[in-house]
Amino acid sequence: MSQCFFVCLLVYLLSDVLKKTNDNYSFDIFRYNTTDIHALPAYFNKVDEILLSISISVISEPYEVSAANLKFDSNVFNLILLIGIGLSVIPAGYAVDIVKDKHLRMKQMLFISGVPASAYYAGFLVCNLAMMSLPFILMFILLYTSHVTPLLGPAFPAVLLTVLLYMPLSTLTSYIAGSLFDNPDTCQQTWPFIQNMLAFVPFIVVGIIDGSGLPRTALMIHYVFCAVDPPYFLLGALYYIYRVYLVAQDGSEELKPADYFHSDTHLTPTFFIGGVLLLVLFSVLVLLEYIRSLPSCLRKKLSVFPVGSAVDEDVIRAAAKAAERNDDTPAAIQVRQFSFLFLFFYKKKINKVRREGRGNPSLAPHY
């Protein structure tokens, strides 16, 4: 009773003071806890609001979404996996065509006839991209007819950009993989399986880690796979497009196409990595053709892919001798132009020849 009397007296005195100072005062009725711990703090808080006219500011921050909050749809996850497995087989066949041309000497005949390497690969690239676009068009038709909402609507620009990056990425990867094989039958039996493994195994790893409540770890692994594993790019990008949809559904937000390219969605860095990787693959392909144009003795040492037997020292000495005589033969010209490559790759070999006394050391090129 004493607490209630004390509080009522203070409220009466406060209202009397306000009435004397301002006729247009307003009196607020408030509730408070009458226990000893909460009564006085609650009252003085109300007094502060009335006397000081404290304005309360409210800050709204985005709700933190973790993997535990997301309502995972296994059907869409499996659909993305099947799309990746099905579409990764198509570019794997392009490597077989490259190996067939090499096996039948058709590529060499074209180069001898004056066809540059750029025209050779450009023709292949245009035809292969045109052929590859048909399955992707069918994919979009199936997505619309099946009403796969996470990959349609606002997500369509992001999915389209993913496809446009993946097509040249996978095609150039197959061209480079063609240098790994000499027999088209071996390539046809092994490379499609390898490309499938490179696509869906990292996808499963990222999905499991992300679903286990470790989104940051999954994101870092996703970036690494995007940078070093071109076949994974399609599945990885589609998974994070689907994840944007899940986060929006949990927060009851209406998605827009621009939301998929926000920094929080992790798709913009993914697309940037894909663009850089495309330039890297193109540079690797150019480097392989550059190595192919070198003399055979250099090409066998420079190539990182399986090529025949060891280099014959007689070939080295003959090329070096021709270069020293300033001959105009293609081999001698190549030796003079790329003498730093001889220095890097043949220093040990030439020293071995000198130690064994199998040739005249003066025949070695001057560096």
Using DSSP's 3-state secondary structure scheme, residue 328 falls into coil
| pLDDT one-digit tens code per residue, 301-343 | 554 433 333 344 445 555 556 555 655 555 555 555 544 444 4
Tokens matching residue 166: 């993946």
Per cent of the chain over pLDDT 90 is 15
Residue 7 binned pLDDT confidence (cut-offs 50, 70, 90): low
SS percent in the chain: helix, strand, coil, step 5:
75, 0, 25
| pLDDT one-digit tens code per residue, 264-294 | 778 889 999 999 999 999 999 888 877 766 5
Determine which of 24-38, 75-89, 114-128, 150-164 has the lowest per-residue pLDDT on average: 24-38
Q: Which pairs from 330-336 meet CB under 8 Å and 24+ separation? A: 330/295, 331/295, 334/293, 334/294, 334/295, 334/298, 335/295, 335/365, 336/365
Q: Which residue has the tokens 């001889």?
A: 342
| pLDDT one-digit tens code per residue, 155-177 | 889 999 999 999 999 999 999 99
pLDDT of residue 343: 44
Q: Where are the domains of the chain?
A: 2-52, 74-292, 313-363
**Angle, CA of 301, 114 and 131, to the nearest 5°:** 85
pLDDT of residue 14: 54
pTM exceeding 0.75: no
